[in-house]
Chain A
């Protein structure tokens, strides 16, 4: 517990004594907010997230394999 308190105090005092660092932390927090609360949530859904392994395989198979033998796939 004592060690835990020391670590907390180490960080708190470190943050308190910062000068340039405060601006940098503000930038870091704004950046992380934009990345995780805006971009990730609204613009970057993980298309395979929430799917079972079999559903993921089916999804990719649909995109990689032609629907029937002999159909020529294309990269465009």
Chain B
């Protein structure tokens, strides 16, 4: 049986990844389409033109289908935290719980209340109140995303917390440090603006299909005018926040950056690889044998990472084996330091089991940040706690090919979206878009590409964090619950069936409604 060959950890990771990927198929369209609908409804309220009412209702119907199918799929991730990732769930404590609770309140009270007014409130509430509900639904969905992304960002960059030895969990010491960390702020803007681009491409793609069919041409052209301008602006913002992400990752997750670039040897004036084909893992040990071929942009990686074309960018080998000259600790050294912290936790456990209060107090003092001894221990040892569980230094290297190619899919597609949306907007403005049938087909087929790019972005963020569940503090192997792999395998396939059924339902209802088109009241 397959489960015999895969460990519980592999199944738990596969299940979480699959659930998150499916969930993320539904979310970005909700985040972006909400604002596009709000803009269209604003035009209706200002002009009182029934055309805008009909157009708004059409896109709102597609929004509703996507929202209904996708709603609550994220809750399955929370089930998995409790069952498959119980060590992690307890260890992260209220840091993860608080943002998720706030997200739940936002999602329930703001989205759920105003979405009802959005769909049921036509002719029952004033046009101004309806418009307010539409805007608040869009804003509420995006504010919900903020808190989810705050929780995710803390896993990438654990700040604003102190470890409580007695409860064996991290406790929030600074809400603002967690909620407004540079990783959280940038991740939020990068994620939501990329979702705006996906929604814009969806509207452009569906409208292009109508132009190809010579149906609903006024609605298609005006929808394209709004969506292409909206998408073009936010595609540029996405590129800007993506650039900021690179600079932040260079500081807080240097291994992720090195793996994204398959940079093995650190150097000053490091180039950015535009395109390349990697050799198999067994043949890749340094920069001379990493690629079959590649095209570099000189000094670009240093410039993007540290805003200095000659800055030193550490490579995979520097981070695994250390670089004394650059002051980079080896993973082996970090493992030794981490083991001191893990052993100290072991001593605490033994003392607790024996009821040895003197030994408990001695260990507790080492985890007390208010004393010089405690501060030194937390800085020199507990900061590398997760390394204490590793067997080999090489385990800190994530999957290089998956990251390398996913990153290029995301960035390449993002650049293409800027060009496409700009071109579509320009041609539509000059009333020449309908003649360019090849471009309309490109717009239609760009919709799945937008989803692919969006998923590639998450692969970059999450696979790049491996082997950590919480950067430097907890590897995924320790985060996972010790439960039979067979049970996780069963639920993996149950989820696969459930989500696939939901996706098929969404696509079939969505396609049917697009074929029907806007309705007259």
Chain A residues within 8 Å of B, Cβ to Cβ:
10-11, 13-15, 17, 20-21, 23-25, 27-28, 31-32, 34-35, 39-40, 43-49, 53, 56-76
Q: Considering the chains assembled together, what is the distance between the CA atoms of A37 and B407 in angstroms?
A: 39
B89 interfacial contact with A, CB 8 Å: yes
Contact B68–A28 (Cβ < 8 Å): yes
Kindly provide the distance from the CB of A71 to the nearest chain B CB, expressed in whole angstroms. Answer: 7
Query: Taking A47-B82, A63-B478, A66-B343 as contacts, is the C-beta distance between A25 and B494 under 8 angstroms?
Result: no
Contact B7–A69 (Cβ < 8 Å): no
B80 interfacial contact with A, CB 8 Å: yes
Kindly provide the distance from the CB of B372 to the nearest chain A CB, expressed in whole angstroms. Answer: 24
| Residue numbers in B under 8 Å from A32 (CB-CB) | 72
| Residue numbers in B under 8 Å from A53 (CB-CB) | 167
A38 closest partner in B (C-beta): B494
Kindly provide the distance from the CB of A66 to the nearest chain B CB, expressed in whole angstroms. Answer: 4
Contact B120–A13 (Cβ < 8 Å): yes
CB within 8 Å of A: which of B500-521? Answer: 502, 505, 509, 513
Contact B9–A20 (Cβ < 8 Å): no
Q: Considering the chains assembled together, what is the distance between the CA atoms of A23 and B350 in angstroms?
A: 58
Q: Per-position contact with A for B342-368: 1 when CB-CB < 8 Å, else 0? A: 110111111010000000000000000
Total A-B pairs in contact (CB under 8 Å)? 153
B116 in complex: contacting residue of A14, A56, A61, CB < 8 Å: A14
B299 interfacial contact with A, CB 8 Å: no
| Residue numbers in B under 8 Å from A76 (CB-CB) | 7, 9, 391, 477
B519 closest partner in A (C-beta): A19
Kindly provide the distance from the CB of B363 to the nearest chain A CB, expressed in whole angstroms. Answer: 11
Q: Considering the chains assembled together, what is the distance between the CA atoms of A59 and B73 in angstroms?
A: 29
Q: Per-position contact with A for B381-394: 1 when CB-CB < 8 Å, else 0? A: 00000001111000
Kindly provide the distance from the CB of A48 to the nearest chain B CB, expressed in whole angstroms. Answer: 5
Kindly provide the distance from the CB of A14 to the nearest chain B CB, expressed in whole angstroms. Answer: 3
| Residue numbers in A under 8 Å from B167 (CB-CB) | 53, 56-57
B84 closest partner in A (C-beta): A44
Contact A10–B339 (Cβ < 8 Å): no
Contact B342–A47 (Cβ < 8 Å): no
Kindly provide the distance from the CB of B504 to the nearest chain A CB, expressed in whole angstroms. Answer: 11
Other contacts beyond A46-B83, A71-B346: 19, CB < 8 A: A10-B116, A21-B68, A23-B509, A28-B71, A31-B73, A35-B498, A39-B79, A39-B494, A40-B79, A43-B491, A47-B481, A56-B168, A60-B168, A61-B352, A65-B346, A66-B343, A69-B346, A72-B339, A74-B477
| Residue numbers in A under 8 Å from B349 (CB-CB) | 61-62, 65, 67
B67 closest partner in A (C-beta): A24
Kindly provide the distance from the CB of A63 to the nearest chain B CB, expressed in whole angstroms. Answer: 5
CB within 8 Å of A: which of B118-163? Answer: 119-121, 124
* A-B interface, 8 closest residue pairs, ranked by CB to CB distance from nearest: A14-B120, A75-B477, A46-B82, A24-B68, A44-B79, A47-B86, A65-B345, A65-B349
B117 closest partner in A (C-beta): A10
| Residue numbers in A under 8 Å from B390 (CB-CB) | 75
A31 in complex: contacting residue of B61, B65, B119, B498, CB < 8 Å: B498
Kindly provide the distance from the CB of B377 to the nearest chain A CB, expressed in whole angstroms. Answer: 16
